[in-house]
Amino acid sequence: MRSPRPTRRRGPRRFAALLLCVAATLPPTASPAGAAAPPPVPGTLQGYDIGSVFTAGVSSGGYMATQLHVAYSGTFEGSAAFASGPYDCARGQLATALNACMDTTQSLQLAALEQATRDRSAQGQVDPVANLAGDPVYVFSGSGDTTVKRPVADALADYYGRFGARVQYDRSTAAGHAWITPLGPNSCTVTQTPFLNNCGIDAEAALLGHLLGSVTAPGSGTGGSLIRFDQNAYAPGGSASALSMGAEGFAYVPASCAQGARCKLLVALHGCKQGYTYQGFGTRFVENAYLNEYADTNDMIVLYPQAAATATLENPNGCWNWWGYLGDTAYARHGGKQIEAIMGMVRALRGTGTPPPTGDRTVLSSTDTEDGYVKAAADGSGAAVGTLEDVYGLALGRGTDGKVNRSVVSFDTSRIPAGKEVARAWLTVTRSSGSGDPWASPSGNRLQVDLRTGCFGGCAVEPADWSAAATVAGAARVDAFTSGSAVSTDLSAEALAALNRGGVTQFRLGFTSAPAGTAYLFVNQATPVTLTVEYR
């Protein structure tokens, strides 16, 4: 079989070589007529034909934009951040957030942040960091920003460069701490409400041009619909306020997207003191961010989730969770409550059919010593355990030796909390390499997931696992994907009931038909397969 893609060198990288620095002030643009948006209308998040998905944010929203991008890099293809720093800079400590990630009186320890990200990726707590290579990232920092100081934003650009992202860094203005927009009522250098500053440049053209590759001139921003939707429906546990999120969020949907055009999705995250419910702030960020205008002419839906202040001192300014408030230790990775709420919104807009989360969740990593693959003739004869897992990963499909591969992964499902009802569960697999398209050979081929309560034989992979009886055949499927991570369909109700709450549950992945010729993929060479379980 074909060798996997070479591993990227992890040694030091030159900061300057990885940045597409904006050294000069961008040319001023004609002043827009003024803030405009259609009045919000109550509704729900419907499914649209969405391709690429990106994040953008300012201050705490910039930190959350980066957290979403790193945690779910298989979903998000790039990010933009104004006035913020590197991923999980605070490491769960408010003092670190204040002293290292806003001020510079404490070192933010960038090398340690990089290593922590790689460790989380290896443990399946965030998507594979290899996904970040080549992703467009836009960073903005003004020299007048004394809230999040310039070296912190420098570290964000450097952080992304260490993973091979394409960073465009605008540090050309004396901007204060704000989202920069031609519609900003504030002058460039101030730091004051509503934290929307006009610096005589069109930062949205720059960030969207970098994220999308090219951008069409903006329209009026009133040609679509501004949907006001219930965020409680997407909050783990059903209460947005329990996560320091508002009851209502917004989504701007251009007419072209509503009529079936292929569209992009941008998740736009306000900063502290900019949420809808914060002291009457209302929709000023939604109306003045200068994104709806570009959405109209670039087939782009803009999702505006809303954070909210707590009545306690945990989060009185309505910031996004980037330091671990309200006891959410998973705030920057898979399972983080605000992250998962936003991911539920993204899935709803993509029309994946995934309902909003209804309770808490746990993410289980497969047991490496019990994972493996078995190869056999198409009729199952001559089965043998594959030997290339450590080098290439778990094999699926027909290899160059003519053998058909099936993979088996094990999970300790006794770790699902006792006394909880399992509501949903799904597998996440990550492509390592491959050749051909086994989903198209023959046409309509399916990558099926079978479930076994306990183990197919012994829990260590053995030849008989290739054809051993499953407790639930066809428990789920994994649709075709060519890179990054893929999520299976939800396990069937029968499969949920068959999860072994007292020990091991095994899953076997294999194509329902043997590919006619060489067509295979390797998955999870460097990271475990994960099983996400939601319960109530």
The total number of residues written for the chain in this structure: 536
Based on the residue annotation, tell me whether 145 is a catalytic residue of this protein.
Answer: yes
Query: What is the C-alpha separation between 530 and 117, in angstroms, rounded?
Result: 17
Give residue for tokens 């729900």. 44
Query: What is the C-alpha separation between 275 and 265, in angstroms, rounded?
Result: 20
Based on the residue annotation, tell me whether 412 is a catalytic residue of this protein.
Answer: no
What distance lies between CA 455 and its chain's CA centroid? 32
β-strand 504-511 against 485-487: which pairing, if any? unpaired
DSSP string, 184-210: -SEETT---TT-EEE-SS-HHHHHHHH
β-strand 186-187 against 225-230: which pairing, if any? unpaired
Based on the residue annotation, tell me whether 59 is a catalytic residue of this protein.
Answer: yes
Residue 245 is given by DSSP the state B
β-strand 372-376 against 404-412: which pairing, if any? antiparallel
Q: How far is the first Cα of the chain from the last one, in angstroms, to the nearest whole number? A: 44
Catalytic one among 88, 127, 145, 158?
A: 145
On the 0-12 / 13-18 / 19+ scale of CB atoms within 10 A, 380 is middle
Query: What is the C-alpha separation between 72 and 146, in angstroms, rounded?
Result: 30
3-class DSSP assignment, residue 383: coil
- Among 442, 444, 443, 461, CA closest to 452: 461
Catalytic one among 121, 172, 177, 410?
A: 177
DSSP string, 454-519: B-SSSSS--GGGGTPPPSEEEEEEE---SSSEEEPPPPPHHHHHHS-TTSEEEEEEEESS--SSSE
What residues are labeled active site?
A: 59, 145, 177
